[in-house]
Chain A
């Protein structure tokens, strides 16, 4: 016979709830040490809890109860990461407002968690879709854009959008360096490092044949191979493309630009894929030896990485080798030790064919050559040591309904202004149709669902001036970026 677990569990769950046994008071005895133990809060899906949820939750619950018994002030809260696509998709299919679906799912999750006896302080429960919560998401956004972001052209050629980008790249170095002291799994730290993707090298200026002012700036991790640069490649979106293209190449270039705009970054940089590219007719000058080298465009170069242009060294870079072989561009050996008849040589070796006038790095190994030529570039004022990051700025706009509205208004000249704190939260308007607005013209700016909101929401008058609101919404990350702070406020 089993012990009467059902009776016991119901009895104590009711007792804990009635007595608010796990409440963390705002006014605490500060002489005691504190312990904040937190679960990654769940997305309340329609499927309810799965067995993976209670695994982490039980672990933190054991710690929370143990620490309380050890005399700590414990904070152990729970909440819901509740914006997101599934509820919006369901709304589009059925017309049910996402808020209703979300509330239903949250109610089920909450009930399931309570049946497991977790010692959460339910008085501190948060829901990212609650206006009382996203008031602060909007407030933080305003703080973040205060000098920390720009509203600019997002480099998607096909859809020239004006979207919010957050300048996370300005924090790349700190995000990398500060991982060091964290007590985190090494594999997770490594994933963060890879995502940030720091690399050291040099930024080098190439002048363009026939132009005085414009320079093509490249970042390379291998400045030692500069003498081996036999061509350059611009990303299709590079601002100088039209300028360097000669009239007889215009048609071909424009055709290529159109095709590239239809591909995703992933498709473009797939290593397996056949390299494509077109010669612009223009030439750059290799600053190491003053030789004219052809300028191509190719979609394997992304405008969002580095400077959006590369110096191509087919002798010592696998992708450049493939490209040069295909288009019969000269392949020059500047580091000995490989067999360039067969493949690019990317290893260390002794520099050759790398001297011009009174400057030479011949006879050095790769690290020595990097140091020497970087110094030379700096002295000549045509380059400098540079750290580059793979991390991109964060595209923060979504053409969706079920997200936080931006606390931003625009005047008729599309100048943007943040809402006053007293106007927060800005809530979502009621809608009948949650779909993005269908458009006849595929090249026009896409119209987010909020562009169809009632006029009374879309427009706002302040001191006699009519402004319109931002129609994009924030990504789901916005609410989950800071919820751990909400519990402590």
Chain B
């Protein structure tokens, strides 16, 4: 029986894969195995690099900072002057991030050289998984390594990222457990869920299921985070919604999921429990009324989904009814979208 999914690093596997395929074919020829190839599907996980390191260049004599744009990082020579520059490592607090660019917090014109390096003893940037398990738990380590980015991509380690994922698991815990009493919170009840609650649940089931099938674990986790944000605001948390969510979480963070599953009063273990399924009828969204204002005055009303993207509702607002006429000759200064309520167009 061939391996349906084989996962391992790309670096050292050329010969391993070739030699294994060779022996497999010999064994196939003498009738020991029944397939021509041993590994139907192969995936390489991306390498995990150390924490991002921030390097500031500065002039040796004047001590003034120099933007990384003006420095050849291979030679440490300032491009505009041809002079050698010095550099030092900054901490994250000194830095601001704009899109993919890192700059000095107190002088945004100075770009910082931000890079991650392969983990190595000599560089001193090795993360020991045991430490992460001790400080944050195995579930946090598992979830973080899946949340860092797409499985196949190269990624940089971030302790802040680990803390973020750990906070998420704490929020999951508090959805169900009162930290003071160690009992179920009063919000968790045997109660009929609302349509909105079923809607977000089924949306999450669909997303997590599809993402797991495609090995897109990071976006599956993001979907569960959205669910938890919503559920945290619910006054009533129906068990019939909480239970399927715990099952979705189980493959990623099995310990906390087993514990919550038990505390919610379920018998058996999630491991052989049926995976939750979604129903299309809960994926449809009841439309709500959005108010469209110009300079704070109500001008139009439209019906649209409460989850519609910001750009989408702006586009609809600008082209609806008498809005184009009212805006003609005016310059749009700003469009403010209040989620699930209104669009205010500021124009003069």
Residues of A within 8 A of B (CB): 1-3, 5-6, 8-9, 11-13, 15, 21-22, 34-40, 48-56, 58-66, 68-71, 75, 112, 115-117, 119, 140, 143-144, 146, 148, 166, 168, 171, 174-175, 178, 181-185, 187-188, 191-192, 195-196, 394, 477, 480-482, 484-485, 488
Contact = CB atoms under 8 A, between A and B. Distances in A.
Contacts of A119: 254, 271
B140 A5 contact: yes
Contacts of B5: 35-38, 60, 63
A50 B119 contact: yes
Interface of B: 1-10, 13-27, 30, 32-33, 36-48, 119, 126-130, 132-133, 136-142, 145-146, 151-152, 157, 166, 169-170, 173-174, 177, 179, 212, 215, 217, 247, 250-252, 254-256, 258-259, 269-275
Nearest to A39: B7
Given A50-B119, A477-B16, A8 B45 contact: no
Given A117-B139, A144-B23, 20 more contacts: A3-B177, A12-B258, A22-B271, A35-B5, A37-B4, A40-B16, A52-B47, A54-B129, A55-B48, A59-B146, A69-B273, A71-B274, A117-B142, A171-B25, A171-B26, A185-B44, A195-B14, A394-B19, A481-B22, A482-B23
A56 B1 contact: no
B59 to A, nearest CB: 38
Given A56-B8, A59-B217, A5 B139 contact: yes
A40 to B, nearest CB: 3
Contact of A36 (B2, B174, B269): B2
Contact of B133 (A21, A38, A70, A116): A116
Residue of A48, A59, A178, A183 with most partner-chain B CB within 10 A: A59
Q: Is the interface of A mostly helix, strand, loop or mixed?
A: helix
A185 B157 contact: no
Residue of A34, A37, A52, A178 with most partner-chain B CB within 10 A: A52
B139 A188 contact: no
A191 B254 CA distance: 37
B23 A140 contact: yes
A191 B46 CA distance: 17
A8 B250 CA distance: 14
A50 B126 CA distance: 8
B142 A116 contact: yes
A100 B45 CA distance: 32
A29 to B, nearest CB: 12
Nearest to B259: A8
B246 to A, nearest CB: 12
A55 B119 contact: no
A148 B26 contact: yes
Contact of A65 (B43, B127, B129, B251): B251
Contact of B138 (A9, A21, A53): A9
Contacts of B254: 12, 65, 117, 119
Contacts of A64: 251
B29 to A, nearest CB: 8
Residue of B18, B32, B139 with most partner-chain A CB within 10 A: B18
Given A38-B7, A52-B47, A488 B1 contact: yes
A182 B40 contact: yes
B129 A53 contact: yes
Contacts of B30: 143, 146
The 5 closest A-B pairs by CB, nearest first: A40-B8, A5-B137, A3-B173, A65-B251, A69-B275
Contacts of A48: 130
A52 B9 contact: yes
Contact of A188 (B23, B42, B271): B42
B48 A62 contact: no
A38 B129 contact: no
Contacts of B24: 482, 485
Contact of A185 (B10, B129, B132): B10
B139 A62 contact: no
A302 to B, nearest CB: 19
A51 B138 contact: no
A55 B4 CA distance: 19
Contact of B145 (A51, A187, A191): A51
A41 to B, nearest CB: 9
Given A40-B8, A62-B146, A481-B23, A51 B129 contact: yes
A171 B18 CA distance: 11
Contact of B7 (A2, A60, A112, A485): A60
Contacts of B130: 48-49, 112, 115
B341 to A, nearest CB: 35
A479 B36 CA distance: 20
A35 B129 CA distance: 29
Contacts of A184: 39, 41-42
A66 B20 contact: no
A215 B207 CA distance: 68
A1 B33 contact: no
Contacts of A187: 10
16 contacts: A5-B138, A6-B137, A34-B1, A51-B132, A51-B145, A53-B129, A59-B7, A65-B250, A69-B270, A115-B133, A117-B254, A175-B21, A182-B37, A185-B43, A192-B14, A485-B33
Given A3-B256, A36-B4, A112-B130, A188 B17 contact: yes
Residue of A5, A60, A148 with most partner-chain B CB within 10 A: A5
Contact of B19 (A38, A191, A477, A485): A477
A481 B20 contact: yes
Residue of B5, B126, B259 with most partner-chain A CB within 10 A: B5
B311 to A, nearest CB: 33
Nearest to A484: B3
B181 to A, nearest CB: 13
Contact of B137 (A9, A60, A171): A9
Contact of B271 (A68, A140, A196): A68
